[in-house]
Structure 1
Amino acid sequence: MINLNGNLVKEENASLPVYNRGFAYGDMVFETIRVINGKLMFWEDHYFRLMSSMRIMRMEIPASFSPEFLEEEIHNLIESNNLANSPARVKISVYREQGGYYTPVTREIGYTIISEELENSFYLLNGDFYEIELFKDHYINSGILSSIKSNNRAVNVLGSIFASENGYKNCLLLNENKNVVETLNGNIFLVKDNLIKTPPIGDGALNGITRKQLLKIIKQIPEYQLEEASISPFELQKADELFITNVAVGIQPVTKYRKKEYGSKVSAELLSKLNVKARLG
């Protein structure tokens, strides 16, 4: 079942018009949420990021779009898909209604919510070989538009094809200043001695929820120094660890970049603390 504008419909019966602006112009924002036994992980952060993204995109936020309303919509969906007692991933997509080619652009929105079952309730450390490379064909623009979750992802798509064709697990994306911004599917963190560093949102990095939670966790660990600052590609081969964060995997350690190989000690420690934080809400 899929939630289409508040109605539960079978997947094969769900459809959008070809003039839908999300399809026609990439005029869409979305939020991906991990649900464990009916509990929405970090729901407040996800909700407020979705509202912020809609405001940045100048979408009309319906009066009904309260945290309680959307949470109930999600619960109704996962129950209809028999996922109430299973780990699941839920995606809320909000698009602007059709119009804007020969007609004025509207601010009114529509939305969909979809769900799928996950294999594990909480995050597990993946210690498999994980090699990455720089993607330099195209750049992420620094600024606030790059920080939101939208379906304007041409650079990520082309980077994914480059990674697949060249045998890499992932790629690092650069901004117009040639600084490392993020990976194809998440935020990037660099560890050197006791310093943990991640690119700032102003560089064009996605305002990731897992990133936000890790920043809070790291600040509470006295032996680590946290820095939100631009990362030059030259710093990558001097680092002790690199790891990627997103809602799907939590923390993914990088094992190799060019001739440099990395450990995963800090990654494992932070992943343990992230799981504790998720359990406690």
Structure 2
Amino acid sequence: MIVLNGSVYTDLNSAPTSDLQAILEAANPFQESVRVEAGKIVYWEAHYFRMMASMRILRMGIPMTYTMEYLEEQVLLLLQESDLLKKSVQIHFSFFSTGSISRSVPIVPSSFLIHGEACETMLGVQTSDRSIDLYKDHWVVKGLYGTLEQSNDRLRKLASVYAFENDFEDCVLLNEDKQITETITGAIFVVKGNQIKTPPLTSGCRSSVYRQVVIDLLVKQDGLDLVEDVVSPFELQKADELFVVSLSNGIQSVKQYRKKVFVSTTAESVFSKFIMGYRLS
């Protein structure tokens, strides 16, 4: 099931031809994913404001109807029609321009598409026996544009192919200054002693809601020093622990980088506090 501009359809093929044409002509639709637990959107306010900010950066028209309450209603409508109200679900928003941007028309109207699927409930820190590696074929775009979800999407897909071909769990992405930005999956956190370091938004990492949630949590945690600063590839082998934060996996502990094997002590401690906020949000 999908929701397209407020109407429910069984799939894209049953949607009006005019709407399908607009989707096909949309150059780079903006996308945002959210998690839903038993009919409640997790961190909905943060996700909503991120979507609106991203649309403004992309010069997309934002109709007055795109209120937080209206879009939440559309999600609940989709869950109800798909019989997913009582399950853990990932919902995906796509916003796309319905016209061509030009000098005379810098901001054009937009439409939205929502679809979703059931997913696993977060129960603990995810682990894997496979290792991660650096992806160095292409560089992440830095700056404000690079923080948007879709800006480096094609690069992440290429890195995923590299990871699959070499049997890696994940790959670390670099910017043109050869600084670490994030992994294919999400935001990376480097633990050394009582310091936890993560790349800043200026590096080109995505400004994801879950990244900020964990940063806010770590800032308040006694005994830990959270630092947002440049991270070099050399720091990975010197680290005591690495973990990755994403909407799809929650907190995921990294098992190995090259010959260095990591523990998951900090990740376990952070998850116990993270899941409390997740359930209460």
- Do they superpose with TM above 0.5? yes
Q: 1:162 to 1:18 in 2, by over 3 A?
A: farther
Identity fraction in percent? 35
Equivalent AA in structure 2 for residue 32 of structure 1: S
Equivalent AA in structure 2 for residue 83 of structure 1: L
Identify the residue that residue 114 of structure 1 maps to in structure 2. 115
Q: Which moved more, 1:258-267 or 1:150-159?
A: 150-159
Equivalent AA in structure 1 for residue 129 of structure 2: F
Identify the residue that residue 21 of structure 2 maps to in structure 1. 17
Alignment of 1:78-227 (within 5 A): 78-99=79-100, 107-120=108-121, 122-150=122-150, 153-227=153-227
Tell me the TM-score normalized by structure 1.
0.94
Q: 1:37 to 1:185 in 2, by over 3 A?
A: same
Distance 1:21 1:185 in 2: 28
Q: Which moved more, 1:233-242 or 1:266-275?
A: 266-275
Alignment coverage as a number of residue pairs: 276
* Cα displacement (A) at 1:223: 0.4
Equivalent AA in structure 2 for residue 188 of structure 1: I
1:273 aligns with 2:265: no
* Cα displacement (A) at 1:160: 0.7
Conserved in 2, the CA contact under 8 Å of 1:123 and 1:249? Answer: no
Equivalent AA in structure 2 for residue 17 of structure 1: Q
User: Counterpart of 1:16 in 2: which secondary structure?
Assistant: helix
User: Counterpart of 1:61 in 2: which secondary structure?
Assistant: coil
* Cα displacement (A) at 1:199: 0.3
Unaligned stretches of 5+ residues in structure 2: none
Identify the residue that residue 72 of structure 1 maps to in structure 2. 73
Distance 2:163 2:139 in 1: 15
Distance 2:205 2:152 in 1: 14
Equivalent AA in structure 1 for residue 65 of structure 2: S
User: Counterpart of 1:31 in 2: which secondary structure?
Assistant: strand
User: Counterpart of 2:20 in 1: which secondary structure?
Assistant: coil
Conserved in 1, the CA contact under 8 Å of 2:42 and 2:278? Answer: yes
Unaligned stretches of 5+ residues in structure 1: none
Distance 1:63 1:18 in 2: 20
Distance 2:23 2:37 in 1: 36
Conserved in 1, the CA contact under 8 Å of 2:61 and 2:108? Answer: yes
Equivalent AA in structure 2 for residue 238 of structure 1: K
Distance 2:176 2:61 in 1: 31
User: Counterpart of 1:237 in 2: which secondary structure?
Assistant: helix
* Cα displacement (A) at 1:62: 0.6
Conserved in 1, the CA contact under 8 Å of 2:141 and 2:152? Answer: no
Equivalent AA in structure 1 for residue 244 of structure 2: I
Conserved in 1, the CA contact under 8 Å of 2:179 and 2:231? Answer: yes
User: Counterpart of 2:221 in 1: which secondary structure?
Assistant: coil
